Amino acid sequence: MNIRDVILESVRKHQPPPRKLPEVSLFHSLQEVDRKALFTASLRELAGEVVAEAPADFAEFLRTRFPAAKTICSAVPEYAGNSKPDDFTEWEAAGEIDVTIVRSPLGIAETGSVLLSEEEFRVNTIGFLAHDIVILLDPADIVENLHDAYTHPHFQNKAYSLLMSGPSGSADIGGVSVHPAQGVMTLTVIFWPRSIQH
Amino acid sequence: MSVVDQAKAAEEFMEDQTHEQHLDKLLWMLRVRRDEAARRVPEWEQLRDLASEIKEHTLSNLAHYLEMFESRAKANGVIVHWAQDAHEHNEIVYKILSDRGVDMLAKSKSMLTEECETTRFLENRGIRVAETDLGERIQQLDDQPPSHIVGPSWHKTPQDVAAVFARAYGSDKENADPAYLAGVMRANTRPIIVEAKAGMTGANFAVAETGAIVTVTNEGNADLVANVPKLRICSVGLEKIVPKTEHLAVFIRLLTRSATGYSITQYTSHFRAPRQGGEMHVILVDNGRSSRLGMEKFWPSLKCIRCAACMNTCPVYRRSGGLSYGSTYMGPIGIILMPTFDARRYSELPFSSTLNGSCTNVCPVKINIHEQIYAWREVMEEKGQIQLAKKVAMIAAGEVLSNPKLYRIAAASADPSLSILPRFAIYNRLNAWGKHREIPQPGKETFHDWYRKNRSQAGSKESQQ
Amino acid sequence: MNQETTPSADRQAPSVRDLKARLPQHPSVKSTVALMIPCYIDVFYPEVGVATLELLEKLRVDVVYPFDQTCCGQPMANSGCYQEAHATEELFVKNFADFDCIVTPSGSCTHHVRDKFTAAPDSAARRKVSASVYDLVEFLHDILQVTEFPWARFEHKVALHNSCSAIRGIGLASMSERVHDPVFSKPKNLLERVPGVQFCDFERPDECCGFGGSFSVTEEAVAAKMGYDKVEFMHNSGAEYIVSSDMSCLMHMQGCTKRLGMDLKVLHIAQILNGASQ
C-alpha cells in the first residue's frame, strides 16, 4: 500500500460516527442595508480609502494623490497609464510599479473587501509588488456580506482569487497595526460605475 | 526529552514584570476587541454552531472529502503529495526543492511546518529558508520559536524588536516605532522574495469541492511567495478540509474577529491552480491527526482553525508567555494537542490551567477545551505520568477524606500541616501557598464541632461511625 | 454512540419545575434539604457553614446535616487522581443518596457533583445525587424564590465575585464571552434585596481569580499574580468587601489582600444574607 492509501485507511478506521452537514443561510440583515455606506465605513476601519465618485480628471487625481509616482500600470480601459500588466513578463518586475489601477467585479459591504483574480490582474504580482493600488468598483457590484461574495463564479473557476481588504499591514510588533508590510502601502477604492468612460 | 515545567518557565517570564505586563495588556485588548466584533454580528452564536457542525460533519467523513479534494486539485494541475509524519513531509519538500536546484526558499507562516521542524531540516541540508511573516521573521532572527500562533513575537516589546533588527539589519536600536520597524522588515524582505526560486505556505482551509487552498494573512506575504517564484509548495494538515466554497464564509467571518477583532485580514487568498507558467504542490500531512480522530474525548480538537482566541483570553497564558509551554502549540489548545505528540514531555501541561472555561466560550468552533484539559488529567494518571510527590499526597488525602472519623480528627487538629488543604502544598514546594499569600488559619472549631455542640438534637443524621 | 461535545455552558441545570414537583407543598416548610459543607469551609471558615445553616433555618427550611460527610472529591479528581477520588465520592453518595435536595454554599462543589461526579462507579444512587445538588444561591433564587431578607442590612461597598464554576459551570450569572446572552446575575439579584449594599464595578469582572484548586500551589506564581491583579482591580473600584458564593476563591483572594496589606475584606454571600453587618 502506498502512503496515500495508508493514510486514508487510518482516517477511515478512526472517523467518528457521521454527523449531518448543516444548511448555511445568507444571513442578510432584516433592515435595509446601505451597501455603499457600509462598504465605505468597513474599508476605512482597515485603513483603506474610498473616493465616492469617479474623478472628472483622473490623470490630475493621480498626480495629486501620488505625486512621486512614475510608473502607473493600468489594467483598466478607463485609463491608459504608462504601462500595462502584459509589460511584466517576469512577474517579479512588477516591483517597479508605483501605482496599479485595476477594476474589481465585486465589493463586500460587511468587510470593505474587493475581489480580484488573474482575470483582473493578468499578472498577479501587480496587485502586491506595486507601491500603491487604486481599485475601480461599480457600487452596483457591492454585495452585503461574505455569504453573498462566495457565490461569485471566480471561486469556482479562477486559479487565484483574492479578497483584498485594505492596504497590507501587520500588528506583529506590540499588537499595533501598521501599514508598511509586504504588499501595497495604500489602497484606494473609487466608486466608478462601469459605463462611464474618461 | 525531559518533561516541560511550564510553571517554572512562567515564573521566570514574570520575573522582570515588564514582559508579563506588556503581554497581558496586549492580549486582553485583543480579547476585548473580539468581544466588540462579536457584538456587531447578531448571528455570532449561530455562526459558531454552524462552524462546529460543519467541522464535525467533515471530520466524520474525512476520507471522502480528502479524496474529493485530491481529485479536484489534480484536475486543476496541482501536484498532490501525502505525508504520514513530519519526517516524510520534510523529505518531500526537500526532494521537490533539490530536484529543481532551489537553494533558497521564501516561507510564509505555517504552524504545520513549525510542527514538522521543516526549516531546521532544510537548513541542515543546505537550503536557506527565509521567513517572510514579520512575527516569524523576528523570531527566526532571534533564534526562538513562535510564542503565539497568530502573533509569533507578541511576547516581545517594541524595544526588544528594535534590538533584534539592529543586530540583524543594522537599523536604529533606539527607534522602537512599530511603523519604522515594519518598514525595516519590508526593505529587507522584498529582495528575498524576489530572489527566492520557491515559495512555501501553509493553508488555513482546503476546499474539497474545488481543490482550492485558502490562506489568510495581513501582510500579503503568502500571496507574494505564492505568486513571485514559479515553484510553490503548500503544506496542509488533514483537518483543514471544508466541504464547499460557501462554508468558507462561516469560517472567514469568525476567524479574524476571534483572533484580533478586525472583520477580516487584508489578504484572504484562494489558490485553485498553479500560476501561469508555474508549478504548485500540495502536501497533505497526517502527523498524528488520523489517530487523534479516533480519540473519543479528544477528536473535537481537530476542529481548530488556529485563531488563538483561547490564548488571548486565557489568564494563565497571558501571565506565562507562550514560550513557557515549550511546545509548537501553546495555551489552551496547546494543552489538549501536545500530549498527543508526546505524552511524557507534555504530561504536566494539563495542570497549567484553572479550568475556568473562558477558552471554550470564545472558541469559534466550540471546542470544549477546558473539558478536554480535565479529561487529559485523568489520562495522565492512567499513563502513570502524575508526579510521584503529588500522587503520594493525593493518596493520603483520599484515605483521609473517605473515612469520616479520620477526617474529623485531622480537620479538628489545630496543626495546619495535618489538615487537608495544606497537604497538597507540600508536594510541590514547601509552603508554596505562603510565598505570595497569607496562609488561611483554621477556625477555632470545625463546623462539625459547632454543629455537634449547637444542633445535634434537632433532626440531624447522627454519625454512623 | 455520538460523543457529547457540547460545552457545559450550553447544558441546562436540573429542572426547577421537576424539583418543586417532588417536594412537600406546605407553604411554611418549603423543602427538606441535606446541607453539604465543603471541607475547606469546615476547617477554615466554619462561620460560613453556620451562616448557611442559620439562613436556611430563618427561611423555615428543614435542614439535615449528614454528620459523616467529608468532601465531594474535587481536590483529588481535579488533580487527575481519579482512583484517589473514588472512595471519597462513594462516601458522599452514601451520605446523601436518601435526600431529594442537597444544598451547599459552593459553586465549585455543586459543579463537581452535578457535572463531573464520575470517579464513583455509576449507579442509580450516584445519578440521583448528581441531579439533586444545588448551590445555595441557586436554591434561594430559583427554588425558594426568596424576595426579602428582613433581618439583613449591609451598608458597604461590595465587589461581587462570581467564580468560574458559578458562571461557566452552573450558570449562576451570564459570562462576558457570550456577548449576545442577556446579562443576569443570581447572586446580585439576591444581594439587591439587602438594604445598604452598594455594588462597585471593577475591570475584568469575570476573569478567573487564579485559585483553580491545586493550581493555586502547583502554579503558585501565576496563581498569585492573577489574584493580585484581581484584588487590585477590586480595590481600585473603591470596594470595601469582596463578596462571593465561593469561599475557595475568597480564601485565595484574602491571602492576596492580606499579603498586600490591602484594606479589602472578604465575606461569603451567605453571611450577608444571614444578617452579618461586617
Q: Is residue C4 part of a domain?
A: no
**Residue carrying the nine cell digits 488525602:** B397
**Residues C106 and C128 reside in one and the same domain:** yes
Domains delineated in chain B: 1-17+27-32+309-386 (no CATH), 41-287 (3.40.50.10420), 388-454 (no CATH)
Q: Between vectors from CA B130 to CA B305 and to CA B26, what angle results, nearest 5°?
A: 50
Q: Name subunits touching A (3+ CB pairs < 8 A).
A: B, C
pLDDT per position as a tens digit, C50-108: 999 999 999 999 999 999 999 999 988 988 888 889 999 999 999 999 999 999 999 99
Provide the pLDDT for residue C15.
53
B26: which chain A residues are within 8 Å (Cβ-Cβ)? Answer: 174-175
The domain tally of chain C equals 2
Helices and strands in chain C, H and E counts: 14, 8
Put simply, whether C204 touches B (Cβ < 8 Å) is yes
Q: What gap in Å lies between CA A163 and CA B265, rounded to an integer?
A: 9
Is C21 within a domain? yes
Residues of C in contact with B361 (CB under 8 A): 7, 9, 168, 175, 177-178
Q: If you average pLDDT over residues B154-170, what whole number do you get?
A: 96
C133 and C17, same structural domain? yes
Residue B423 has pLDDT above 70, yes or no: no
Do residue C69 and residue C21 come from a single domain?
yes
| Distance from the B436 Cα atom to the nearest Cα atom in chain C, whole angstroms | 6
Rounded distance between C-alpha atoms, residue B218 and residue A183, angstroms: 9
Do C168 and C200 belong to one domain?
A: yes
Q: Which of C143, C176, C195 is the last residue of a domain?
A: C143
Measured in angstroms, the CA of A38 and the nearest CA of chain C are apart by: 22
Side-chain half-sphere of C61: how many Cα atoms within 13 Å? 26
Main-chain phi, psi angles of C198, to 5 degrees: -115, 125
User: How buried is C80 (Cβ within 10 angstroms: 0-12 exposed, 13-18 middle, 19+ buried)?
Assistant: buried
Report yes or no on C89 lying in a domain.
Answer: yes
How far apart, in whole angstroms, are the C-alpha atoms of residue B33 and residue B257?
A: 8
pLDDT tens profile A4-44:
999 999 999 999 999 999 999 999 999 999 999 999 999 99
Residues ≥6 apart with Cβ < 8 Å to C10: none
pLDDT class of B194 with cuts at 50, 70, 90? confident
In a domain, C149, yes or no: no
Per-residue model confidence as pLDDT tens for chain C (278 residues): 333 444 443 444 455 555 555 544 433 345 589 999 999 899 899 999 999 999 999 999 999 999 999 999 998 898 888 888 999 999 999 999 999 999 999 999 999 999 999 988 899 999 999 999 999 999 999 999 999 999 999 999 999 999 999 999 999 999 999 999 999 999 999 999 999 999 999 999 999 999 998 899 889 999 999 999 999 999 999 999 999 999 999 999 999 999 999 999 999 999 999 999 87
User: Is residue C82 within 8 angstroms of chain B, CB to CB?
Assistant: yes
Handedness of CA A78, A84, A85, A91 (dihedral sign): negative
Residue C6 near chain B (CB below 8 Å):
yes
pLDDT at B45 over 80: yes
The upper half-sphere exposure of residue B137, i.e. CA atoms within 13 Å in the direction of its Cβ, equals 29
Kindly state whether residues C132 and C16 are assigned to the same domain: yes
- In 3D space, the residue among B205, B302, B305, B201 whose CA is nearest the CA of residue B245 turns out to be B205
Same-domain status, C131 and C256: no
End-to-end alpha carbon distance in chain C: 53
Distance CA B304, CA B248 (A): 14
Is residue C148 assigned to a domain?
no
Q: Which residues of C touch A19 (CB under 8 A)?
A: 2
Q: Which residues of B touch A184 (CB under 8 A)?
A: 220
- Residue C131, domain CATH: 3.40.50
- The verdict on C122 and C77 lying in the same domain is yes
**Chain C touched by B300 (CB under 8 Å):** yes
- Asked whether residue C1 is assigned to any structural domain, the reply reads no
Give the three-state DSSP class for C78: helix
> Which pLDDT does position A197 carry in this prediction?
57
Q: How confident is the model at residue B29 (pLDDT cuts 50, 70, 90)?
A: very high
Q: Would you state the pLDDT for residue B309?
A: 98
The pLDDT assigned to B1 comes to 76
Chain C's closest residue to A18, CA to CA, is C2
CA B335/CA B329 separation, integer angstroms: 8
> How much of chain B, in percent, has pLDDT values that exceed 70?
94
Q: What SS3 class is residue B30?
A: helix
Contact indicator for C14, C80 with CB cutoff of 8 Å? no
Residues 6 or more apart from A173 whose CB is under 8 A from it? B134, B138, B153, B156, B158, B161, B178, B181, B182
Return the DSSP state at B142. Answer: T
Q: Answer yes or no: do C136 and C161 share one domain.
A: no
Min CA distance, C2 vs chain A (Å)? 7
Which residues in A lie closer than 8 A to residue C2 (C-beta atoms)? Answer: 16-17, 19
The verdict on C14 and C138 lying in the same domain is yes
Average pLDDT, chain B: 92
Are B273 and B57 within 8 A, CB to CB?
no
CB C171 within 8 A of CB C134: no
Say yes or no for a CB contact (<8 Å) between A19 and C2.
yes
**What pLDDT, on a 0 to 100 scale, did the predictor assign at position C3?**
37
Find the length of chain C. Answer: 278
Q: What is the pTM of this model?
A: 0.94
The rounded percent of chain B whose pLDDT value lies above 90 is 79
Residue B416's pLDDT band, with cuts at 50, 70 and 90, is: low
Q: What is the ipTM of this complex?
A: 0.96
Euclidean distance between CA atoms A101 and A81, whole angstroms? 8
pLDDT at C12: 45
Q: Which 3 state secondary structure label does DSSP give B440?
A: coil
In angstroms, what CA-CA distances link B236 with A13, A158, B89, B109, B146?
21, 20, 10, 12, 19
Task: Quote the distance between the C-alpha of residue C66 and its chain's center.
Answer: 19
Task: Confirm whether C152 is domain-assigned.
Answer: no
Polymer length in residues for chain A: 198
Q: Which amino acid is at B301?
A: S
The reply to whether C193 and C253 lie within a common domain is yes
pLDDT for B391 beyond 90: no
Determine, for residues B460 and C86 on separate chains, whether the beta-carbon distance falls below 8 Å. Answer: no
Start-to-end CA distance of chain B, whole Å, equals 50
Q: Are A98 and A71 in contact (CB under 8 A)?
A: yes
Write down all domains in chain A, each with its CATH number in brackets: 33-168+179-191 (3.40.50.10420)
Domain match, C71 and C138 both: yes
Q: Which parts of C80-123 fold into alpha helices (H)?
A: 82-96, 107-115
Which three three-digit cell numbers place residue A104?
474589481
Q: What is the pLDDT of residue B372?
A: 97
Domain check: are C113 and C221 in the same one?
Answer: no
Question: What is d(CA C129, CA C104) in angstroms, rounded to the nearest whole number?
Answer: 13
Q: Beta strand pairing status for C32-35 and B79-83?
A: unpaired
A173 → closest Cβ in B158, B186, B299: B158
Q: Which of B212, B226, B231, B222 is nearest to B278 (CA)?
A: B231
SS3 content of chain A, % helix, strand, coil (to 5): 30, 20, 50
Which tens digit of pLDDT belongs to each residue from A103-162? 999 999 999 999 999 999 999 999 989 999 999 999 999 999 999 999 999 999 999 999
Whether pLDDT at B11 is above 90: yes
Owning domain of residue C204: 157-273
In this structure, is residue C217 part of a structural domain?
A: yes
